[in-house]
Amino acid sequence: MRFFFSTRGSFIILICLLFLSLRLITLPSVLNFGSDAARDFLVTWQMYETKHPVLIGPPSEYTFHGRQFFFGPAPYYLILPALLIGHWDPIAVSYFLIVLNLAVLVTAFLIMHKSIKEKAVAYYFGIFCACTPLLVTYSQSYWNPYFMLPVSMLLVALLVHTKTQKKSSFIFLFIGLLFGLGLQFHYSFLLAIIVSIFWLFISKKMKLRTVGLLIGGFLIGFFPVILFELRNHFYNMNTLFLILTHPADSGTGFIINSFYLISLLPFLFYLLSVLLIKIKRPVTYMILAGYILLSVYIIFSPHMNKLSYSDAKQIAAKIERDHPTNFNVVDQLTGDNRATVVRYLVTVQGFVPLGVTQYPQASTLYVYSKLPLKIMLKNPVWEIASFLPYKKITTRQVADQIVLYKLQK
């Protein structure tokens, strides 16, 4: 009981309540269940149904003449238990991500609190991680780069802990494991690895033994991808080489996206926390109070998605009521013509559409859009054009002016 009435215990209780409130109150309305998430959930479902484990994960945006560059499979295995418990409902993964991020934050706070003389740094770090709007968003919905955030949070805490640990062989091994695990989620985690190595170097921790432990841990954390490369003649490395040597032919080209910096956010919050302790306490408290209020305002401001999670479920439910066979689905609302989101929702309920190249073979086609069908048919996308002509049409209204068209041959 003494723990709960201590400053540390009281802070953990308050930060947990704040953390959960900022994330749970707006669910499921803010859930961003897009085509990338649906694609990964379908792979996870297929992996479970076929009982065939995979060694490679989601594809990156970079390609070279049809060759894709893949991330690691860790996201699939992490979300599988949540999907099973939640009967394949995507909202279950959101709850899992919230719990995962909270558990990591509390762990990171306790490690920092134990390791730092200036305890306020740990408190400020916890506030930044709990309240920052971007971090709230990243913990409410699934996307494989979002997993970098809890890994990086724990990484910062362990790096802080190495300052006070003389015998820290296991910690360096674990840091190396986090390097490999973070790199599975997205290769931009390399930025966090570079910052961490620089941190250890200036802390005079980069000895030969340390390097060996970091490499050993990395091999463990990155093992599935290494095994895939060995089994497939270094497919990923060869693809990366082709992309680097032929940037003009690499699909999207090299674009620096803001989410590449996700793994650096905990490092930034730690730096800000260290700077805040150098300011007088009343001023610091005013800064933090203002930051929390501004964050709450941003978090609870209205958010719009082209296709909300509830609307996607309504569309899927209307399709499922038909108990369709030999059918396919087209999205004319979000830009994902192959309707990956709705495709996933109906598939896990036992109604499997034809493949994404089999639109001509379908006898029924479901199309959802805010546009009248006549406008869509003036210059139809391939998924619709290859199905035409149709003999019968049924129109069903969905929320927010979305219409579901059922075309039958």
Q: DSSP per residue over 24-65, as a string?
A: HTTTTTT----HHHHHHHHHHHHHHHHT---S---EEEEEET
Do 193 and 235 reside in the same domain of the chain?
yes
The residue count of the chain comes to 409
Percent of the chain scored above 90 by pLDDT? Answer: 78
- What pLDDT score was predicted for residue 293? 95
Decide if 21 is inside a domain: yes
Which tens digits make up the pLDDT trace of 98-129?
999 999 999 999 999 999 989 999 999 999 99
Question: Residue 252 pLDDT > 70, yes or no?
Answer: no
The pLDDT score that the predictor gives to residue 158 is 95
When pLDDT is averaged across residues 60-83 and rounded to a whole number, the result is 90
Identify the three-state secondary structure at position 376: helix
Computed over every residue of the chain, the mean pLDDT equals 92
Distance between CA atoms of 117 and 55, rounded to whole angstroms?
A: 43
- Asked if 251 and 66 count as a contact pair (C-beta separation under 8 A), the reply is no
- 113 and 212, same domain (yes or no): yes
Task: Look at residues 240, 274, 299 and tell me which one is the last residue of a structural domain.
Answer: 299
The whole domain housing 329 covers: 309-408
Distance in angstroms (rounded) separating the CA atoms of residues 252 and 234? 23
Backbone dihedral region of 101: left (phi > 0), alpha (psi from -120 to 50 degrees) or beta? alpha
For tokens 């408190």, name the residue: 123
Cα–Cα nearest to 126, from 117, 372, 135: 135
The predicted structure's pLDDT at residue 260: 84
276-280: list long-range contacts, CB under 8 Å, 24+ apart: 276/120, 276/124, 277/118, 277/120, 277/121, 277/124
Q: Does the residue 367 lie in any domain?
A: yes
Mark whether 256 and 194 lie in a shared domain: yes
How many domains does the chain divide into?
A: 2
Which are the contacts of 402, defined by CB distance < 8 A and separation ≥ 6? 307, 311, 315, 333, 368, 369, 370
Judgement on whether residues 192 and 45 belong to the same structural domain of the protein: yes
Residue 154 confidence (pLDDT) above 90? yes
Please indicate, yes or no, if residue 304 is contained in any of the structural domains.
no
Residues 175, 322, single domain; the answer is no
Determine what percent of the chain is predicted with pLDDT higher than 70: 96
- Which tens digits make up the pLDDT trace of 5-28? 578 889 999 999 999 999 999 998
Short-list 108, 99, 104, 102, CA closest to 273: 108
Tell me what pLDDT residue 255 has: 62
